[in-house]
Structure 1
Amino acid sequence: MGRPEDAEKWIRGVERIFQYINCEDNEKVKCATYQLVDEADFWWESVKNTITKEQLGELTWVEFKAKLFEKYTPEYYRHRKQNEFWSMRQRNMTVAEYDRAFNQLSRYAPHLVDTDEKQTEKYCNGLRHEIVIAFASQKVLSMLKP
């Protein structure tokens, strides 16, 4: 987990496995930590050495993820990505590239897209003007058809 994106991908992958096998909340930390390798495995060993067995037994999946993100996805990185999302514009990207970038960056600012209305507004505000006009024209035309 050298890059912040690696930690995020790892968490998402583990959570997909949890969902598939219907892993209970009280087993998630135990299952996930068996999947840690290399630097992350050494990090986890050092964390375990700094907490009691009771604390380890009571550690929730949410708390574990917070510790992992704190270690591998620092606050400055998340803040930078949030700002990148806030100021995101399509510019010379295709709509498909813009859509992909929008989806990737939106996870850093979920409060900006936590409703369909907010998500649509943010998405459209980043599109090139001519594309917004084309979408608007298409919507008007489809409303006029019987």
Structure 2
Amino acid sequence: MVRPRRTIPVNPPVPDLATVVANLQRQLLEQQQETNRLRDQIAQLNQRPQVDEIPPPVHQAHPVYQVPPVVPPVPEVRQEIPRNAEVPMAQVGEQINVQPVREDLLYERFRRMKAPEFEGLTDPVAADNWLIDIQVILDFMRLTEQEKVLCASFALKKDARHWWTTVQMRRDVMAMSWQDFITEFRAMYYNAEILAVQQDEFTSLQQGSMTVMEAVQKFEQLARMCPELVQTEKEKVRRMMKMFRTDIAKQVSAGDNLPTLVFDCVSRAIRAEYWINRDKEARAQIFKAQKEEKAVVK
């Protein structure tokens, strides 16, 4: 048997040191050139105009409702020009065109409120009721002092309209406050003779056949006409107790805690009236039953 000849490995030749250094320098130079080329490309991209990119649409399973932003209302700026001031003709023309529109809008708002009209009745209670009703509407509309006067004048009809015309002749109603209007109104329809009659009726008012609520309503109407007679809550309660029927007043004043407020006094009077009526109905039924029994016996 012939054994194979053993091959002795031959080591590769060792490269020259100068060659290795040259190869490394060449690779570094190529990397430096590639880096410079990339920098030039980035600089060119930065110099181009930027275009807003539209983001790709987002696919949603269900559309999402977006609430629009709330824009606050722009407050109205009203410029007042002092009287006797020199105003350019152009501005005067603008005021002439704008002011009627403002009054038309105000009148339309007031008309939709269906305010009661006043024809100049001599009954002070009716005049007072109209003044209260119209003031509630004007307060609800949140008007200025001059706008309140203007709207209230819209509701004046017949004799009241003639009276308002005389007021316009002797004073500047456009500068009148709402309190000035009330003063003028009461001076006309709350004269001394009528007030004297109302005071007499108020001091002699009795409940009589009226219910508690009817009597209290009449009491409040006359009290508004005669405020000097009920300047305090205590005086108002005292006069109201004097107005009630005796059977009701006894129950209201029963006990140690006397009413000191009008609300408490009225509440007690309503409860007393209820139980008094219940007692009358029970006694009437008993009397009716006894009468029927006597009729059957005969």
TM beyond 0.5: yes
Is 1:24 paired with 2:162? no
> Residue deviations 1:34-83, cap 9 Å, x none?
222222122212221233xxx33332222222222222332211221122
The residue aligned with 2:178 is 61
Q: Helix, strand or coil for the counterpart of 2:143?
A: coil
Q: TM-score, normalised by structure 2?
A: 0.41
The residue aligned with 1:8 is 128
Q: Helix, strand or coil for the counterpart of 1:107?
A: helix
Shift in Å at residue 139 of structure 1? 7.2
Q: TM-score, normalised by structure 1?
A: 0.77
Query: Which structure 2 residues correspond to residues 64-79 of structure 1 after superposition, within 5 A?
Result: 64-79=181-196
Q: Helix, strand or coil for the counterpart of 1:137?
A: coil
Is 1:90 paired with 2:207? yes
Shift in Å at residue 138 of structure 1? 6.9
Shift in Å at residue 85 of structure 1? 0.9
CA distance in 1, matches of 2:170, 2:226: 32
Unmatched runs of 5 consecutive residues or more in structure 2: 1-119, 258-298
> Residue deviations 1:6-39, cap 9 Å, x none?
4223211210111111122232212211222222
The residue aligned with 1:143 is none
Q: State the aligned residue count.
A: 137
CA distance in 2, matches of 1:137, 1:49: 59
Q: Helix, strand or coil for the counterpart of 1:83?
A: helix
The residue aligned with 2:293 is none
**1:116–1:71 CA distance, 2 compared to 1 (3 A):** closer
Q: 2:226 aligns with which of 109, 118, 131?
A: 109
Task: State the identity %.
Answer: 26
Question: Counterpart amino acid of 1:67?
Answer: E
The residue aligned with 1:44 is 164
CA distance in 2, matches of 1:6, 1:134: 33
**1:139–1:94 CA distance, 2 compared to 1 (3 A):** farther
CA distance in 2, matches of 1:111, 1:42: 30
Root-mean-square deviation (CA, aligned residues, Å) is 2.3
